[in-house]
Chain A
Amino acid sequence: MDNVAFLAGAYALAFVGIVGYAWSLNRRLRRARAEAEALSEPRSEQR
């Protein structure tokens, strides 16, 4: 064994972390935009 398990583990953890963050960022952005949308719509109806 040449410690390949350590190598694979390091890459897996790093990229799972980065992709996981990108994914959650996507979700947060979508929610924030939906919220902003919801906030502007009722106001335009009131007018």
Chain B
Amino acid sequence: MSSKARRRFLWMAGGVVVLGVFGYFAWGGLGKSLVYFWTPTELLAKGGSAYGTAVRLGGMVVPGSVEWNAETRDLRFRLTDGDTTVPVESRGAPPQMFAEGIGVVVEGVFTPAGVFRSHNVMVKHSSEYRAPEPGKHPAEYYRKLFRSQASP
């Protein structure tokens, strides 16, 4: 091969590799192995094999399901993806943004009792940024849930 043809071949090969990697990520295969969190439905579908392994579970905090015990610092709530709901137990105060109806990702293990025991609660924020409504202090939104209970 002449050096010009060789160079052209290398360019094309490079282009194919780059496009291939890109397409692989975009349409397929690796998407499955890059699952950051499971939904409650996926977790329950695993059945007994899901017990005891460290996983992340993502969903929405069911409104009205949050119980916070300021003395034992136990937090309980129910997590839903719309179809399936899993009870979650955690220790310690959650992030300030935590509230009923908000998206969360919890890290922990699913116990045979059917409860997800979490050691880390993370709040998943949406891509919406809005000004507070008049008359309401911005911090009130996320603080009202815990202000009465969490402060000593």
Residue contacts A-B, CB under 8 angstroms, 3 given: A2-B138, A2-B139, A3-B96
Which residues of B come within 8 Å of A, CB atoms? 96, 138-139
| A47 CB → nearest B CB, Å | 41
Chain B nearest CB from A9 CB (Å) reads: 16
In the assembled complex, the Cα of A2 lies from the Cα of B139 at a distance in Å of 7
Q: How far is the CA of A3 from the CA of B138 in the complex (A)?
A: 12
- Chain A window 1-40, contacts with chain B (Cβ cutoff 8 Å), 1 for yes, 0 for no: 0110000000000000000000000000000000000000
Residue of B nearest to A2 (CB): B139
Q: What's the nearest-Cβ distance from chain A to residue B81, in Å? A: 29
Chain A residues within 8 Å of B138, by CB: 2
- The distance in angstroms between the C-alpha atoms of A2 and B97, with both chains bound, is 12
**Which of chain A's residues has its CB closest to B138's CB?**
A2
CA distance A5 to B120 in the complex (A): 23
Q: B139 to chain A: which residues have CB within 8 Å?
A: 2
State the Cβ distance, A2 to closest chain B Cβ, in Å.
5
Query: Nearest A residue to B143 by beta-carbon distance?
Result: A2
CB distance from B80 to the nearest CB of A (A): 28
A41 to B98, CA, bound (A): 68
Smallest Cβ distance from A5 to chain B, in angstroms? 13
Residues of B within 8 A of A2 (CB): 138-139
**How long is the Cα–Cα vector from A21 to B138 in the complex, in angstroms?**
36
Q: Which residue of B lies closest to A3 (CB)?
A: B96
Please give me the residue from chain B that is nearest to A1 by CB atom.
Answer: B139
Kindly state the separation between the CA atoms of A2 and B138 in the bound complex, as whole angstroms: 9
A3 partner residues in chain B, CB cutoff 8 A: 96
| B101 CB, nearest partner CB in chain A, Å | 21
Q: How far is the CA of A1 from the CA of B138 in the complex (A)?
A: 12
Give the CA-CA distance A7 to B96 in the complex, in Å: 15
